[in-house]
C-alpha cells in the first residue's frame, strides 16, 4: 500500500496533508509513504523531518508512481496524477457542491474521490472530521485578526490615567468556529454575546460566559438540520431576527460572522444599513467570505471600509495557522483511514455508513447521492 502526499498548488494554501507523526503511524500499519519534496515547507515541516519519520521524498512524478492512495488538503487536478494505480483513492477537500467540474473530471479519470468535507457528523467519525478541526482554528484566528485590526484594547483596563472599557464582541453563528471565537474573545477580556438559529446553542453560549441573543417571540422554529448543521429559516423568523440583531449590532465593537449552510451560498446576516449603524472604528470579520459572505460588501483577503467600519475575511483562514492546521488535518486523515485498515489485505476497506458518505466517484461514475445529477 503506497500513500502519496503532494505539495499543495492552490493559491494561498500553506497546509499539508501529512505530518511526520502520521507518516510514522501509516508506516506502522505496513504502508509506505512518499512525499513530494518541499510539501511541508509552508507548514513548518522540513523534508528532513519527513525523512526521519521514514518517508520517501522526491519529485511529484516519482512520488505518484504506483500510488494506491493520494492525500491532499485541496484536491489536485486529476490530470496531475499521472502514474497512480488505476482506481487510486484521493482523499482531500473537493468542494463538491461548488466545483462540480472537478468531481466529473475525477470520474472520467477513473479515480475514487473521497471528499473529506462529506464526513458524517456522527460520534465515531468525530476524530475524522476535518471541517471541525479546521473551523476550530478559524474561529480563534478570526478573533485575533479582528483584535489586531481594531484600534482599541479588548479587556477592561483600570489605569492611573483612567479606565479603558472592555470591547464588545458579537458572534453570529455558534458552530465549532463560533464557539471557539466566543472562548477566544472571552480570554482576551471582551464582553461577548452570540446568536444562532439553533435554540440548543443557548446553553453552549452561556457555558462559555457569553450572553445569548435570541428571538423569543417567534415560537416553534428550530434551525437545526441533519448532522447538527444549520438550515435556512422561515421568512417570519428571518424578519424577527433581523430586527433583534439590528438593535444589538449598533452597540458592538467587533462582529464575527460564521454562518454556513452546506450546498448553499452563505446566508446574508449583515446589511449595509446595519454596518452604517455601527460605531466608527468597529471591525467585522466575515468567516464565510469565501462562500459568498455573511456581510454585504465583504471581499476575501481585503480590508474594506464602509461607513467607518472595517470589514475583513480570509479566503482560507486555517492556512493562516498552517502548522497547527496541518497537524490536525493530518490526524483527521490518519484516523479516517486507520479506522478501516484491514490487516490481512494491508489496506483500508471502507464501510457503507462512512464510505458511501464521503465517496464521490468510483468506477468512472459519480456515485454520491448528494451530488448525483
Residues with a catalytic annotation lie at 121, 126, 129, 132, 229
Report the distance separating Cα 16 and Cα 115, nearest Å.
Answer: 16
Cα dist. 315→32, 71, 302 in Å?
34, 22, 10
Identify whether the C-beta of residue 254 lies closer than 8 Å to the C-beta of residue 147: yes
Report the distance separating Cα 343 and Cα 275, nearest Å.
Answer: 57
Report the distance separating Cα 158 and Cα 164, nearest Å.
Answer: 6
Identify the CA nearest to 191 among candidates 203, 180, 182, 200: 182
Place of cell 473529506: 116
DSSP string, 156-208: -EEETTEEEPPPEEEEE--SHHHHHHHHHHHHTT-EEEEE-S-TTHHHHHHHT
Report the distance separating Cα 339 and Cα 39, nearest Å.
Answer: 25
Amino acid at each position: 500500500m503506497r500513500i502519496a502526499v503532494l505539495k499543495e498548488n492552490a493559491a494561498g494554501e500553506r497546509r499539508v496533508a501529512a505530518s511526520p507523526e502520521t507518516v510514522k503511524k501509516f508506516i506502522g500499519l505496513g504502508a509506505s509513504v512518499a512525499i513530494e519534496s518541499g510539501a511541508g515547507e509552508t507548514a513548518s515541516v522540513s523534508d528532513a523531518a519527513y525523512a526521519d519519520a521514514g518517508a520517501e521524498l522526491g519529485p511529484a512524478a516519482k512520488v505518484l508512481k504506483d500510488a494506491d492512495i493520494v492525500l491532499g488538503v485541496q484536491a489536485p487536478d486529476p490530470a496531475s496524477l499521472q502514474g497512480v494505480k488505476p482506481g487510486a483513492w484521493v482523499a482531500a477537500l473537493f468542494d463538491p457542491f461548488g466545483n462540480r467540474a472537478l468531481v466529473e473530471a475525477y470520474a472520467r479519470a477513473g479515480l475514487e474521490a473521497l471528499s473529506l468535507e462529506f464526513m458524517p457528523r456522527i460520534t465515531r467519525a468525530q476524530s475524522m472530521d476535518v471541517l471541525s478541526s479546521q473551523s476550530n482554528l478559524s474561529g480563534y484566528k478570526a478573533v485575533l485578526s479582528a483584535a489586531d485590526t481594531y484600534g482599541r484594547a479588548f479587556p477592561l483596563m483600570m489605569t492611573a490615567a483612567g479606565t479603558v472599557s472592555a470591547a464588545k464582541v458579537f458572534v453570529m453563528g455558534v458552530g465549532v468556529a463560533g464557539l471557539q471565537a466566543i472562548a477566544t474573545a472571552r480570554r482576551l477580556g471582551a464582553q461577548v454575546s452570540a446568536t444562532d438559529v439553533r435554540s440548543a446553542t443557548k446553553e453552549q453560549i452561556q457555558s462559555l460566559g457569553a450572553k445569548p441573543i435570541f428571538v423569543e417571540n417567534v415560537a416553534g422554529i428550530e434551525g437545526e438540520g441533519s448532522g447538527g448543521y444549520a438550515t435556512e429559516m422561515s421568512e417570519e423568523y428571518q424578519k424577527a431576527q433581523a430586527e433583534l440583531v439590528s438593535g444589538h449590532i449598533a452597540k458592538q465593537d467587533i462582529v464575527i460572522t460564521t454562518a454556513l449552510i452546506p450546498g448553499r451560498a452563505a446566508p446574508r446576516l449583515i446589511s449595509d444599513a446595519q454596518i452604517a449603524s455601527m460605531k466608527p472604528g468597529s471591525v467585522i470579520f466575515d468567516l464565510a467570505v469565501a462562500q459568498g459572505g455573511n456581510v454585504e460588501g465583504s471581499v476575501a483577503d481585503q480590508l474594506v471600509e464602509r461607513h467607518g467600519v472595517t470589514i475583513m475575511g480570509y479566503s482560507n483562514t486555517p492556512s493562516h495557522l498552517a502548522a497547527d492546521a496541518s497537524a490536525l488535518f493530518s490526524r483527521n486523515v490518519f484516523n479516517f483511514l486507520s479506522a478501516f485498515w484491514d490487516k490481512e489485505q494491508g489496506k483500508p476497506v471502507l464501510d457503507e455508513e462512512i464510505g458511501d458518505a464521503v465517496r464521490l466517484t468510483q468506477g468512472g461514475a459519480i456515485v454520491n447521492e448528494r451530488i448525483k445529477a
